[in-house]
Amino acid sequence: MFSSSRVAELEEENRRLLALTRLQNAVVSSSASLASSDNMLVSEVETLKAKLAAAEERERTLSAELVSKAVSSPAPVKVEDLSVESGAQLSPHPRPTVIPAVQGHKSSASLGLMVSFTSISIYSLISWLYPNSN
């Protein structure tokens, strides 16, 4: 019927086809898991975008409230009578006058936060790169 060489060829062909089938099944299952992972990542990105938009809206609302409160009710200024006639003596070191900043409050706060975060990041990086040096 079949020669032993033909049987060996058919067995070899079967092994090769079986290996190809297993490889194809592995690729299909990994691509399905990748698609599922991609869907999860896209969903997470959309959630984070929505949270960011809500936080930005909240920031705008609070900033507007802060500006309106600062404009509608400025901080009271203490006025002292420094006339020579009243007997008050002039101090050789006058107190600095504090003027409430209404216009630049957002940029200066942002700058302060940016400087803080940058210095923390640099310190963390140095600590990570050189763990034994203090």
> What is the reported pLDDT for 105?
53
* pLDDT given at position 12: 92
| CA 120 from centre of chain | 14
What is the per-residue pLDDT across 61-76, written as a single tens digit (0 to 9) for each? 998 888 888 777 666 6
Q: Retrieve residue 41's tokens.
A: 């990542």
Residue whose token pair is 């040096």: 133
In this prediction the pTM is: 0.33
For residue 129, give the amino acid letter.
L
Would you state the pLDDT for residue 80? Answer: 67
Average pLDDT of every residue of the chain: 76
Q: What angle do CA 66, 67, 73 make, to 5 degrees?
A: 90
pLDDT confidence band for 134 (50 / 70 / 90): low
Helix (H) or strand (E) run with residue 60 in it: helix 4-72
What percent of the chain has a predicted confidence (pLDDT) above 70?
70
Q: In the structure encoding, which two tokens stand for residue 51, read together?
A: 């949270």
The pair of structure tokens assigned to 97 is 């006058």
pLDDT of residue 51: 92
> 89-122: per-residue pLDDT in tens?
555 555 555 555 555 555 667 787 888 888 888 8
